[in-house]
Structure 1
Amino acid sequence: MKKRPLKEHLSDSLVTGDGAMATYLYQQGVSIGHCNEELVLSNPAFIANVHKAYYEAGARLIETNTYGANRERLTRYGLESKVTRINREAVKLARNTVGEDAYVVGSIGSICAGRVLAFDEDEYRDMYEEQATALLHAGVDGILLETFLDLKEVLVAVDAIRPLTDLPLIAQLSTIEVGRTRDAFSLSEAFQILARHGVDGVGLNCRLGPMEILRSLEKTVVPEHLILSAFPNAGRLGVSDGEFKYKSSPGYFEETADLLVAQGVRLLGGCCGTTPDHIRRVAAALAGKKPVQRVNPELRQIEVTGAEHAETARKKPTVVDKVKYGRTIICEFDTPKGLDISGFLAGAERLHQAGVDTITMADNSLATARMSNLAAGAILKSQLGIEPLVHVACRDRNLLGQQSHLMGLHALGIDQILVITGDPTRVGDLPGASSIYDVTSFELIRMVKQLNEGISFSGKQLKQKASFVVGTAFNPHVRQLDAAVRRLEKKVAAGADFIMTQPVYDEKGILDVYEATKDVGIPTFIGIMPLTGYRNALFLHNEVPGIKIPQSVLQRMEAQTDKESARREGVEITKNLLDVAMEKFRGIYLITPFSFWQMTVELTSYIRRKDHKRAAAQVS
């Protein structure tokens, strides 16, 4: 009897899928790091034996060995010219190995593959289309998209592949935590969106074991017309007798199979750590049974607790709140390079007394090691009653460290931050240190705002929402200011609440920044930093990225004969700039040079006096 099309078969039948390919290959002696997809060319018998083992165990849906057979991954091995050939041969190999009663589906994995990338959607769409075209031309029964952590990426793949075929297209997400994608969509939301983009089936694979996938599905609304699949890992990866192993036994897979079928799963296989023995037990559990009509849970809105209302009520106004109504001054004051904090605290207190609204501290600026701004900020807040604004650089922490750092800031009540990329470590005092850069500033802004929704970087519910107010940096010292503004607008779209600019040293520059930022929709704090001497001016102009000083200012500083007169001249130049800046900006960002807080105190007092005189004149 002729085999029915896969979609029709899944409409009224349970199907056992196959198990892991990569981890099973490693168990058979393939070295980690080898391009597994290339084996369909160099050692086809080896891959055929894996397909055969799963088929004989009872699998009737066999995935091609093409999970990573995309141009991006194959380029790493010098195989970019063999994308079509590898995918075509993988289909042929699977088809010729298993019986005619088995379905062969083209496996397409995430290109991001767990990394955090600001990927080019057009480039990814081309790569997905290239791989899918090869698989479809080779004669697969359907396409299985698998191990996608982010809804954004899987939608790119779906939109590239759906126009190519009417064959079943099943999209499997992979969640780090139960019930939510890494880019913060609930599974209910993600499955609904995927349905609108035309998939035939949705499901979960990898990362989680059977029970965690079961818990995810119990909380998820699945559109009624979609096929539901599950390919769990063999539990979590752990260390046993000095070896990395997956814990879940084949027997456990058989026990949990009925529970997954009761959730409406019609296609059930295995992912990392599973073997033909696991699949044999799944096939035994499904034998002779029919699909179960899924009953979706009721959606419930998350209520804000009284404690959260109280937490919100006792928060002090932020710089964004203040600048809506009047002059607001942010002052940057570096934490110590050494272990003595007394001078830093004395300067911070004087700045606060002079009228600074908040003190902002860099995150090891110029990649030079300084005292933790988290610790210093906590001390300012608890001992002096000063609201800190801390910089958070992408450079020094991986994703794990970034989330931990931000959670610590939240616990300390430090909610004002400036997200920056951070100078590379090679320019600093520890050039051998690693620059991490797991994320870009755009991505980190978005992820901080995700914490404000009560969702961790991994998609886990945090039971409480953060309340970060996020600043972003703007460098106007570029050849094409329009390009810099477009980049700024992307940061605003990512969730930035306010802007802090690099220091500007001429009146025209201030006016240019005003015109460039006046329509972006969030407040701008114009950066002003007094010069301390001619050599300081030369250094900033010639060696520090993002700073340019007009020739006229350099000449004024060069004319000074001693350090004291140079600092006075630096203050006077800055006052002239402030006169212009105060006409255009409510927000002023004073940057203290070399911890000379006395200069910033004088400038802060100057701003407050001018505002007072202006207010008095308006009253009279």
Structure 2
Amino acid sequence: MVLHAAPLLLDGGLGTYLEAQGHDISGPLWSARVLRENPALIESAHADFFAAGAQVATTASYQVTFDVLGEEAETLLRRSVAVARDAAGGAVDKHGALEEYLVAASIGPYGAGPGEGTDYDGAYGLSREELYRWHARRVAVLADTDADFLLAETIPNVDEAAVLLELLSAQPKPFALSITGAIAADPVKLMRVIDLVNQAPRLGAVGVNCVSAPHALGVVKTLRAATDKRLLACPNSGELWDHGAHEWRPAPAGAVSLAEAATDLVAAGASLLGGCCRVGPTEIRQLRTSILRATSDSFGQ
């Protein structure tokens, strides 16, 4: 990954953005359903995030798994990268070559596949060996694409983090790890992951996603005090997902937005910033404005 004076800006929540546009992401495939049926819509969504100021397109591979899709999974994994690469190329054509447009191949957690809602609590009941077998082929396929780096994101399970760091360290591309849920909320589990991170010399960045902006700030501060890795933060909108009702609840009154938290996240050491669920191009544009203001103010001091 290339070092930047300002943080590298990732995109927002691809699946929830597609949903907000009226596309059906219900069922076990989530955004991969759109990737499967109409990949041009995925490319268009990536283009919207680039137009808003994002420099990284995160692929629609998060929920593409071999146990759900069989051999078709490899086709869709490769398609997800190709579509994002096309969008990045279009962004260069539109905005010029002064910007850097990258593709991050998304690797979602076991819970996002057959885990039946365990993608935030990480209560899988699987051994490391089982998790290794489950993740290995997907990592291998994505490593064999022209993605710029691999991003294991929304990881809620310490054993899963260990397995992914092992698999990612054995492939040639740069890679990053982003935790969430049960790890981010548990100081003991977080320190266990930090120990793993500090034993992974090729890991390019570590961070947190799909938690509120204030929670992400706390995790970034903890990480900064315990590791010299580059730090990543991709908070959600602050709204709350009601798993039972399958609907979003409003953010608590007075909740700090991602854009409002940007200055503190940069000051805390986050050098890769973006959004997660319910963060669309509008919020990414606001985040970019906040980042530019924060970094220009720091240069002026």
TM-score, structure 1 normalization: 0.41
Q: Confirm or deny that 1:155 pairs with 2:154.
A: no
Q: Confirm or deny that 1:40 pairs with 2:38.
A: no
Q: Describe how 1:430-469 pairs up with structure 2 within 5 A.
A: none
State the match for 1:60 in structure 2: 55
CA contact (8 A) 2:102 2:148 kept: yes
State the match for 1:254 in structure 2: 259
State the match for 2:73 in structure 1: 83
Q: Tell me which of 189, 192, 217 is aligned to 2:195.
A: 192
State the match for 1:491 in structure 2: none
State the match for 1:97 in structure 2: 87
1:118–1:39 distance in 2 versus 1, CA, 3 Å: same
Structure having greater relative contact order (Cα 8 Å, sep ≥ 6): 2
Q: Describe how 1:353-372 pairs up with structure 2 within 5 A.
A: none
State the match for 1:15 in structure 2: 8
State the match for 1:451 in structure 2: none
1:509-547: per-residue Cα shift (whole Å, max 9, x none)?
A: xxxxxxxxxxxxxxxxxxxxxxxxxxxxxxxxxxxxxxx
Q: Tell me which of 194, 211, 216 is aligned to 2:214.
A: 211
Deviation at 1:254? 1.7
Deviation at 1:251? 8.8
1:72-131: per-residue Cα shift (whole Å, max 9, x none)?
A: 3xx2xxx21112111111100001012243110110011132452222433432332311
Distance 1:194 1:212 in 2: 20
Distance 2:130 2:296 in 1: 42
Deviation at 1:188? 3.8
Equivalent position SS for 1:138 = coil
1:146–1:290 distance in 2 versus 1, CA, 3 Å: farther
Q: Tell me which of 190, 202, 205 is aligned to 1:201.
A: 205
1:145–1:285 distance in 2 versus 1, CA, 3 Å: same
Deviation at 1:271? 0.8
Equivalent position SS for 2:110 = coil
The structure that has the greater radius of gyration is: 1
Deviation at 1:65? 0.5
1:169–1:31 distance in 2 versus 1, CA, 3 Å: closer
1:238–1:154 distance in 2 versus 1, CA, 3 Å: closer
More moved, 172-181 vs 19-28:
172-181
1:133-190: per-residue Cα shift (whole Å, max 9, x none)?
A: 222222010011111111111111111121111x321111103486526xx42x3442
1:155–1:195 distance in 2 versus 1, CA, 3 Å: same
Q: Tell me which of 128, 142, 146 is aligned to 1:135.
A: 142
Distance 1:150 1:126 in 2: 16
State the match for 1:263 in structure 2: 268
Deviation at 1:250? 12
Distance 1:178 1:147 in 2: 10
1:291–1:229 distance in 2 versus 1, CA, 3 Å: farther
CA contact (8 A) 1:126 1:160 kept: no
Distance 1:65 1:160 in 2: 20
* Paired amino acid for 1:217: V
CA contact (8 A) 1:121 1:156 kept: yes
Q: Confirm or deny that 1:172 pairs with 2:178.
A: yes
Equivalent position SS for 1:266 = strand
Distance 1:116 1:63 in 2: 26
* Paired amino acid for 1:171: L
1:562-586: per-residue Cα shift (whole Å, max 9, x none)?
A: xxxxxxxxxxxxxxxxxxxxxxxxx
State the match for 2:109 in structure 1: 110
1:291–1:158 distance in 2 versus 1, CA, 3 Å: farther
CA contact (8 A) 1:144 1:171 kept: yes
Deviation at 1:39? 2.4
Distance 1:109 1:216 in 2: 20
Equivalent position SS for 1:277 = helix
How many pairs does the alignment contain? 272
Equivalent position SS for 1:172 = strand
Equivalent position SS for 2:233 = strand
1:94–1:250 distance in 2 versus 1, CA, 3 Å: farther
Name the % identity: 24
1:290–1:202 distance in 2 versus 1, CA, 3 Å: farther
Equivalent position SS for 1:164 = coil
1:31–1:88 distance in 2 versus 1, CA, 3 Å: closer
1:23–1:238 distance in 2 versus 1, CA, 3 Å: same
CA contact (8 A) 2:238 2:257 kept: no
1:84–1:196 distance in 2 versus 1, CA, 3 Å: same
CA contact (8 A) 2:123 2:157 kept: no
Q: List runs of 5+ in structure 1 lacking aligned partners.
A: 1-6, 293-620
1:238–1:107 distance in 2 versus 1, CA, 3 Å: closer
Equivalent position SS for 1:170 = strand
Q: Describe how 1:428-507 pairs up with structure 2 within 5 A.
A: none
Equivalent position SS for 1:215 = helix
Deviation at 1:62? 1.0
State the match for 1:493 in structure 2: none
Q: Confirm or deny that 1:222 pairs with 2:226.
A: yes
Superposition CA RMSD, Å: 2.7
Equivalent position SS for 2:257 = helix
Equivalent position SS for 1:9 = coil
CA contact (8 A) 1:155 1:197 kept: no
CA contact (8 A) 2:213 2:256 kept: no
Q: Describe how 1:282-321 pairs up with structure 2 within 5 A.
A: 282-287=287-292, 289=295
Q: List runs of 5+ in structure 2 lacking aligned partners.
A: 93-99, 112-118
